[in-house]
Amino acid sequence: MTFPKNIFDDSGNQAATSNIDLVCLSHLRWDFVYQRPQHLLSRFAKERRVFFVEEPIFDDERMHLDVTMRDCGVSVVVPRLPKELSNKEALDAVLFSMINRLFEEHKINEHILWYYTPMAVRWTKHLKPSAVVYDCMDELSAFRNAPRALREREAELFNRADLVFTGGHSLYEAKRHLHKNIYAFPSSIDAQHFAQARCLDSDPEDQKDIPHPRLGFFGVIDERMDIELIDEVARLRPDWHLVIIGPVVKIDEKDLPRHSNIHYLGGKSYKELPSYLAGWDVALLPFALNDSTRYISPTKTPEYLAAGCPVVSTSIRDVVRPYGELGLVHIADTPEDFAAACEAAMNDDAGSRLPSVDAFLSQTSWDQTWGRMAELIEDVVTARRGTHLAQRAFAAGASRTVSVQGYVTGD
């Protein structure tokens, strides 16, 4: 499913093609970790222009917009500002001016606004989009260092949005009373990409000398990870080796557990991940149970499964439902139970496990997710275009009526 091409032009006729662009406002960096925004927006970019507007970088250079296109066709837009620009009102005014400049220089006319950060509402609410989408992938207000005004800005965004998507079912349940057009779109999967891990037999250079059994994790290492759990599992099973892949953010690296059987390999590209997964005996979701993880729906859950790995997770709601309930993922919370679950996972019969995994994963894909989202957006754009045309027709009819009446009375 691709984004609809046949929507009405201003004359009311069917247009052969549409020039609708998508402008995304994001708190995430495009080149940081390949996740939900990249999966969805790269699909839109196959047929339409996409501008991915990141938060500013304060690097003491001249004030300008850095616009660069990635191989997938997405144009990444980074406002670069002087370090001294810290006043919030002044910053909003600058970003207001910069978004206007972006629209002018790139001739952005009809467009969709797609938000990942509600904080951008303050300097984009003057724009006149054909649709406003809020892809609420996390409960951002629960994250460390979240802006104080985030809840207020999100309330504004809910009032403005035509559609709200949530990154999981638990987040949908928490937000569904806030909007009439809200839909749950849990983490999906590019199964073919991760299934490569099932047939790879060579290790990456920095993993090949790590002994087995290997228990691995990839993702952002932040306040959502239960580092005490990692520490205790490493102590309980000194003959196991824990491979941790990903960038460390918002926590001090000095606070990470350090044992000879824990191996921090840094960040890896999306393309590289299957080669690491191929060498793991168990894949881990060692998330802490706190406010920042209450509504998460980890994208890596189906990715681990597609790679053929047995998976062990703490009791994150959107992992328990459906993966734990279907017996696709082992669930445990205490270090002792987690270690026991990992041992049980190592003894899983892949011959009986993988058919169930594949049957479940066949029901979803990022293509299917984007296709359904595109249908919903099409409905909004078409309805708004129809309302606009009806208003124009009404105004034209009223004008004609006034003219005729004026002519009669004047005579």
pLDDT tens digits, 245-290: 999 998 999 999 999 999 999 999 999 999 999 999 999 999 999 9
Same domain, 35 and 157: yes
Q: Is 17 helix (H, G, I), strand (E, B) or coil?
A: coil
Q: What average pLDDT does the structure give for the chain?
A: 89
Q: How far apart are CA 80 and CA 55, in angstroms?
A: 9
Read off the amino acid at residue 355. Answer: P
Token pair, residue 286, equals 């060692």
Q: What is the pLDDT of residue 11?
A: 40
Same domain, 170 and 221: no
The model's pLDDT over 362-409, given as tens digits with 9 standing for 90+, comes to 999 999 999 999 999 999 999 988 766 555 554 455 444 333 333 332
Total structural domains in the chain?
2
In a domain, 2, yes or no: no
Same domain, 55 and 178: yes
Q: Which residue has the tokens 């491979």?
A: 243
CB-side exposure of 380: number of CA atoms within 13 Å? 23
Q: What is the pLDDT of residue 286?
A: 98
Mean per-residue pLDDT, 169-185: 95
Range in 41-45, 52-56, 104-108, 407-411 with the lowest mean pLDDT:
407-411
In a domain, 146, yes or no: yes
Mean per-residue pLDDT, 56-64: 83
Range of 353's domain?
A: 191-361
- How far from 390 is each of 9, 63, 402, CA to CA, in Å? 13, 43, 18
Same domain, 25 and 159: yes
In a domain, 8, yes or no: no
Range in 88-92, 157-161, 345-349, 372-376 with the lowest mean pLDDT:
88-92
Q: Which residues contact 190 (CB under 8 A, 6 or more apart)?
A: 39, 306, 365, 366
In a domain, 5, yes or no: no
The predicted model scores a pTM of 0.87
The model's pLDDT over 192-216, given as tens digits with 9 standing for 90+, comes to 999 999 999 899 999 999 999 999 9
For 117, phi and psi rounded to 5 degrees?
A: -120, 120
Q: What is the pLDDT of residue 389?
A: 55
Q: What is the pLDDT of residue 74?
A: 98
Q: What is the pLDDT of residue 60?
A: 67
Instruction: Please state at what angle helix 335-346 crosses helix 227-236, rounded to 10 degrees.
Output: 60
Q: What is the pLDDT of residue 282?
A: 98
